[in-house]
Structures are given as C-alpha cells and as structure tokens.
Structure 1
Amino acid sequence: MAEAVLEIDRVSKRYGEVVALREMTFSIGAGELFGFVGSNGAGKTTTMRIALGVLAADSGEVRWNGRPVDFETRRNIGYMPEERGLYPKMKVLEQLVYLAELHGLSSKGARKAAEEWTERLGLAPRRDEEVQKLSLGNQQRVQLAAALVHDPEVLVLDEPFSGLDPVAVDVMSQVLREKCAAGVPVMFSSHQLDLVERLCDRVGIIRSGQMVVNGKVSELRTGGSDRYLLDLPYAPADWARELPGVTELSVDGSRFLIELAPGTDSQTVLAAAVRTGEVREFSPHRPTLTELFRNVVTEGTPA
C-alpha cells in the first residue's frame, strides 16, 4: 500500500447506550481508492463525519500526514455527504463559487473552477438554475462538484453514486480514477458493490461499528475457502453429497457450486464428476465482493 496519508486510529463513538463505533482503525494511502462498505447503521457515515470533524470521537484520533486533523486540514478535504448538503434556492454556479470561496479560493479562481467542474460533469446548461429544480441525479452531480471545486487533497464521499444514471456513473468513476492518479486518496461508501469491486484498490467491510475485513479486493476474492464451479449435464442432483470433504453450496440445473474442506484433493472430486458423464466445466470459484459482503454481515455481531 502507498504511504498512509489519512489515518483513522482506534476511533470510538457512543450514543447513549448505543455503540456506533468500536476502535475503528484503518488508513488510506496517497492515490488509493478505498471502498468503505457495510449494512445500514454499521457506522460508515459516523466514521466519515468524525474524519471531517463534523462529529467528535469519544476516543481515538484522526490524522492527516501524521498530524491530528484540524480546521486548516479540513479546508483541504473534499466531502460529499449522503444527504443533500446544498442550498436548494441558490443557483448552481453561484453556489459552487460561494463554496469554493469558503475554502479559500479567490473570486476569480472560484468562478473558473466552478465553470470547469460544471462543464466536466455535464451541468453547464444548468448553471443558472436553482438546485431544487434539478433532477435528483443532477443534484448529485452538483454535490460532487461542490466536493471537487476547491481542488482538495483528499476526498471523502458518502454514497456518491446514489441516484446516478449509467452515463453519470461512468463520468464520476473516471473523475475518481483521475484524482487517484494525481495522488489524491479517495474514500467512498456505497451499496453498489459491483462498482466498489471494479473501482477500488482496497475495501473495508464494517459490521456493528467494527472493521471486520480490510484488504485488496483481488486478495479478498482469492482468499478463504476452496470452492469450485462444475457444469455436469448428466449428474444427479445429489452426486456430491456423499463425497468426503465436499459441501454442496448450491445447485442451479446442471451447475453445482461446491466447497472443499482443507486437505480435500480436487482431482479426486474431478474424477467423481467424470464418472457422472460429461464435464462441461470444472473451475475454481472466486467469490464476488457481494458474496463476501453477504458472508461477513451474516456472521453475527462481534462480542
């Protein structure tokens, strides 16, 4: 991983008797795209708000380049909240200029940046319209422009792809890749796990306020149990159930997904499959991020 830039170090947060975060710990390197996923209420938004200083942690620390995050640091962070954080009656360009100026840009620089981002995100024809009159997808584009307009050194985005059409998803994906290529660390949460899998260098899965999985997507998909996908057109539905060390996970017509216990020889299983007749497929099965996520969140709440 690239040298850590944004560090969340043993951050905890409680609301009365409810533990929202329990020693949340992870870091994001320069130029890294980090996907932050979990069920509703798992603690993603709370973590992001603490990283931005919107909420105070009960314990732990957030650091930027080795130093605790302070007011000046926050001015260099681009934040996109899940809920709309825009002034509904302000016009698009006027609002982006205002927000850029709040982050320290000159009036001329703010206008130039606002014009560039509205052009890039397909909002140029909507510059003089009130935000409340835009479609939800275009409001989401304005929200992203607001996070980018001051040329931030780090991006923290809460559900940035929510409500976007496929074209807008492609545009936003390209923007995030470009920012990472320029060395900007990007952290975003999403329930669209196919996008997370496609875009991210690393992913963190949280459950009940704790980080339970954290690693490169490719490594997470190749690790874990030994699973195989078989296509056996002439095999009976129960052909694998009596094989030692084999667990049948699913059957879909002639396609079988099985899991081998440690030490089970895959060639022995293949030989058994051949005895059923034609073998159209016998291949290792790499779980998708969606499957990994489902397994993690259904394992139960940690003590």
Structure 2
Amino acid sequence: MQDKLLPKLEAWHEEDEFEEIVNAVMDIPAEERDYELTNHLGRALNNLERYEEAVEQFLSVADEGKVDPLWQYRIGFAYYYLDRYEEALRAFEAADRLEPGDEEIQEFLELIRDKVPQQPPEEAAPDPADVPARVSAYADGAPEAALESDADFTDFWEDSDLALEQYVMAPPTDEQIASVEEELVFRLPAFYVQMMKQHNGGVPRSRSFAVADPVSGEMGHIVISGILGIGREKKRSLCGEAGSRFRIEQEGYPEFGVIICDCPSEAAAVMLDYRDSGNDGAPEVVHVDKANNYAITRLAPSFEAFIRGLVKE
C-alpha cells in the first residue's frame, strides 16, 4: 500500500497539494508509518506553515533522521520559522556536516547565525565559590571517565521522606543498568552512573542552575525537584511510573534523549540531549519547557558540568 502511495505523495508535492499529502498519510495509523512516510508528512506540514506539528513528526523518527541531511534540513526549517534559532542552528550545522557545501543549507546558516545571540561572557557564570566543594573538586572540562570511583556524594543529597518514597532506590547492578539503557535506547553518562551507584536517585541539597536569558543576557535560574535514579520500582525513576519513557510518550517531550531531572512545574523537565553525540555518546543537558511549546534551553555540555553548576536557591 505504501509503495503505491509514495508516487502520489511526490506528485501532490509537485502540484502544491500539501493538504492531500497530510490527509493521506494521517489516514495511516501512526504505528504503521515508516520513516519515509513520516518525512513526507513533516515536509507537507512545513509547507502548510504548521511548524509545531512538523517538529513533532520529525522528532518521532529522530533516531533514523539524525544521520540524514534532509531530515536535519527539514526539522531545522521548522525550528527556524518557530523562531527557535539555536535548535535550527544545530540542525543546519548537522546537515552541513552530513552534506557539506549545499547552497540552501549555507543560506540558512547565514540567516540563523545573524539571529542567534552571542554566548554571555564566562564571568556571568555562577561564582565557583558558591559551588559545593564535593563537586568543584573536579577540574573544569575533565572527561567523565576521569571521575574517581571513590568520589563521595554523601553530602550532596537531602534524604527527606518524599525523596525516600519517590526517588531513592538501592544502588543498581551492572545488569540493571544495561536493562534500563536498553529500554531507554541511550547509554547513560558515566558520571551519572557512578553517582547512582553511590546514591540511586534523590533530591539534591542544591537545586538551582544559573542560565542567561538569550535576548537580554540577564542571569536567571532553573530549579530542579530531584534526580531520577536507575531503575523501575520508584515512581520517579528513569523507567518508573512517572519516569523518562512515560513522560516522553504521554506528555509529548522530545525523543532525542532522557528526562533526567524533574522540575517543580510538571510542565518542564531537564533532559539529556543526544542529538549531537549519538545514542552512545556524551549528551548535553537541556531544559525543556512544555508550557512554552517545548522550548529548549541549553544548560551544560555534560551531566558532570550540570551537577557541578548546581547551587542553593
């Protein structure tokens, strides 16, 4: 059936019959659509200026798309017209790496780079004196693999009744870690795994992370409620009742990574973002604001840097 439909979709595209494409593909149940059909749907939604819906469709096939320059171009196109320029820039830069020299990609890169604000100066970052000694003992930029196995996070956690009830579990075994990673389809950062082997999930004493407003450059903060542990038995664990997979599937959070921290608002979360690193790489840490059309704010280049940057509210 799909083989017969694809030539029709191409013909409708050439005739600017984009509604016909949307209707035809949407008639097919989502679980039966393959990568090519989903891309046709996303392209048609872009052409109809329904960019948020387009992004949702493209993200549903992100695992295949991240190595496809056309997928990167199309999702970057949607982000651009949603004024989500940092995400658009990442997508078009990835497209440029996959297909160097393409003129349309270069044109968008020039347009976007004029719109993306410069990063705030380093002195605007949190004062290192405010960072807990247990974290700042690690050198800036040190690879996660350099974490000592006996690093002590004892004073990092606030073991309230709520934390013990909803977050904290027994340290995970290597078999449990492998099982959770298989379910999530992402390899967890080594620094995070080491932390969880000492204290598996919970509520940190320091829960605030400084972030600059992309327009004004003024410093603000995002706040987390807790860090999800490796397991399934607690409600707020990676594979638990209110864990990463549940929230991505039921609440529409992007599928590019793992929800690693809850926020006080149920309409926000902190995620590991694997778009640039690949599923087995070292992810960035981002804040996703569901209440603001899933706006994404980059927080830190690694989970280790994120933990190092947490301060008391």
Choose between structure 1 and 2 for higher RCO, CA contacts under 8 A separated by at least 6 residues.
1
Q: TM-score range by the shorter chain?
A: under 0.3
Compute the TM-score of the two structures, normalised by the length of structure 1: 0.25
User: What is the TM-score when the length of structure 2 is the normalising length?
Assistant: 0.24
Which has the higher Rg, Structure 1 or Structure 2? 1
